[in-house]
A and B are shown apart, each in its own frame.
Chain A
Amino acid sequence: MEAAEVEFLAEREMVTIIPNFSLDRIYLIGGELGPFNPGLPVEVPLWLAVNLKQRQKCRLVPPEWMDVEKLEQIRDQERKEDTFTPMPNPFYMELTKLLLNYAADNIPKADEIRTLVKDMWDTRIAKLRVSADSFVRQQEAHATLDNLTLMEINTTGAFLTQALDHMYKLRTNLQLGESVQSQDF
């Protein structure tokens, strides 16, 4: 899976927009949206929000958690604990990127938020690496990673599973080490 595909999934997250046009309720396969009234907040999926924003048909309302104080709190919490802490949104990275890229003018202190989210990401990835290392060292066979988001899993996932796959095979060798039935020719 590529990062772009994770983003595709993230685009289904609902965000609030304030449209400047009016439109009746629309019936889409995934659910009904609207009705849209100028000046009245309405929830739409992120992909539509970004599209409307690009066509200058709406103003985006930043999600509740996208706030400097709250993010600072989460970041400090993240640094304090050994395990992964719950994130404000399962797609926090993707939401931040898309919202800041396309609607930075609607989000107060956009630069600070960008830095904070990047900090959080770096902390978590470093943590992931440390825990992967101890996981391998102790030759564990399973782990719980409750609060890891899809993007984080996806970035190191392929590497980690491949390494664990190799390790599993090398460990199976160990059990067979005593007596191995080799192939018949």
Chain B
Amino acid sequence: MRAAGLAEEPAPALPGQWKAGRRLGTLRRRRGCSKASWRAGVLEVVMAQAYAPVEAALGPVEHFLSLADILTLNGRGRNWLLRAGPNWRGAASCVVPGQRQAGPRLCPEGLSGPTGNCTACIEAESPTDTGSELEIPLWLAKGLYDKRRVLSVELPKIYKESWRTVFNADANVVDLHKLGPYYYGFGSQLLNFDSPENMELAQSILQTFIGRFRHIMDSSQNTFNEDTSALVTRLDELERALFQTGQKGLHDFQCWEMGQAAQITVSSLIQNYKKRKFTDMDS
């Protein structure tokens, strides 16, 4: 800001006379940081604003290019338990070639082979039979469920009735990061499988968010310059992003109030880079 910036400089004769470049140089020397880290700091500020990642869709249909959605669809660990459907074997409608050929590590995608490269094969030790249980990633389940109905999908346990009761009782006590970490996105995607519990599922996810909202808001708006890791450990990825937004608003305001908004500072991330040359960072 013009007015606040003036406090730094000895007042010039006319406001129009001072040059931004000279002012930044003085500021840099005064703060005692090297040219390289200074430039990288400015660069980082610019980059964070200019970088607009594709956000998660948070609905039944994912964003094709969203990295968060790709991770969500990939599932994590043993969150997934899916059953191969009744028309797996012997049904004429089964279009995937290779499915009906018995063999070790046959996989629902038709990518058969002893090596079993496909994700599904890792779990299936024996030829997959009708009614076998498989843990497969959500993207594969979606693809197979769509038209061919080669599988029936079972909800992961944290979206089932028993856990929903826990969430309804008090959503704040649940460690969503351990259970998620994409609890909301994953749950929304689960609505694709026409489960009879869809309504309850959607309702439960919404209520969980509402129940946890106050806690996220208060903790993100009340902690300034403190270690927030303890606060965010139990938060879902989506909630963490929200927490960061709240923190940014608060931080921005506090900096302004303390008169720091007028100064350009080096990002805390690159303060250790002092010995590196800027040219190295380009290559």
Interface residue? A143 (CB, 8 A) = no
- Is A166 touching B205 in the complex (CB atoms < 8 A)? no
- Is A163 touching B213 in the complex (CB atoms < 8 A)? yes
How near does chain B come to A40, taking the closest CB pair, in angstroms? 23
**A8, A54, A129, A183: which has the most chain B beta carbons within 10 Å?**
A183
- Is A2 touching B60 in the complex (CB atoms < 8 A)? no
Chain A residue at minimum C-beta to C-beta distance from B241: A162
Give the contact-size bracket for chain A.
35 or more
Chain B residue at minimum C-beta to C-beta distance from A136: B213
Contacts of B61 in A (CB 8 A): 182-183
0/1 interface trace, chain B 177-214, chain A, CB 8 Å (1 if under): 00000001000100110100011011101100110011
Q: Which of B131-176 contact A (CB under 8 A)?
A: 142-143, 145-146
How near does chain B come to A16, taking the closest CB pair, in angstroms? 17
- Is A166 touching B242 in the complex (CB atoms < 8 A)? yes
- Is A170 touching B58 in the complex (CB atoms < 8 A)? yes
Interface residue? B253 (CB, 8 A) = yes
Chain A residue at minimum C-beta to C-beta distance from B238: A166
Main secondary structure of the interface of A (DSSP, over half): helix
- Is A163 touching B206 in the complex (CB atoms < 8 A)? no
Interface residue? A173 (CB, 8 A) = yes
- Is A155 touching B194 in the complex (CB atoms < 8 A)? no
Contacts of B218 in A (CB 8 A): 129
Given contacts A133-B214, A166-B58, A173-B59, contact A178 B245 (CB under 8 A): no
Chain A residue at minimum C-beta to C-beta distance from B3: A50
Given contacts A51-B3, A159-B220, A159-B242, contact A169 B59 (CB under 8 A): yes
Contacts of A158 in B (CB 8 A): 245-246, 248-249
Interface residue? A144 (CB, 8 A) = no
Given contacts A154-B249, A182-B146, contact A167 B210 (CB under 8 A): yes
Contacts of B198 in A (CB 8 A): 177-178, 180
